[in-house]
Amino acid sequence: MNQLVLTVLAADKAGQVERVAQCIATHHGNWLDSRMARMAGQFAGILRVAVPAEAYDVLVAALQALAAHGIRVLVAESGTEQPCSWRTIDLKLVGNDRPGIVRDITRVLAEQGVNVERLATDVEPAPMSGEPLFTAEATLAVPLTLPLEALQARLEGLASEMMVDLTLHSQP
Is residue 172 scored above 80 in pLDDT?
Answer: no
Q: What is the pLDDT of residues 47-94, one digit of tens each?
A: 999 999 999 999 999 999 999 999 999 999 886 666 668 999 999 999
Domain boundary among 21, 46, 77: 77
Residue 133 has pLDDT above 90, yes or no: yes
Question: What pLDDT is recorded for position 163?
Answer: 87
* Residue-number span of the structural domain to which 138 is assigned: 86-170
CATH number of the domain that 58 lies in? Answer: 3.30.70.260
Residue at a domain's end among 77, 106, 129: 77
Q: pLDDT confidence of 161, banded at 50, 70, 90?
A: confident
Q: Is the pLDDT assigned to residue 171 strictly greater than 90?
A: no
As a whole number, the mean pLDDT across the chain is 93
Q: What is the pTM of this model?
A: 0.79
Domain shared by 17 and 36, yes or no: yes
- 137-148 mean pLDDT: 94
Do the beta carbons of residue 90 and residue 137 sit within 8 Å? yes
Model pLDDT, residue 55: 96
| 18-33: average pLDDT | 97
How many domains is the chain built from? 2
> Is 106 found in the same domain as 63?
no
Q: Does residue 54 sit in the same domain as residue 103?
A: no
Q: Are residues 45 and 96 in the same domain?
A: no
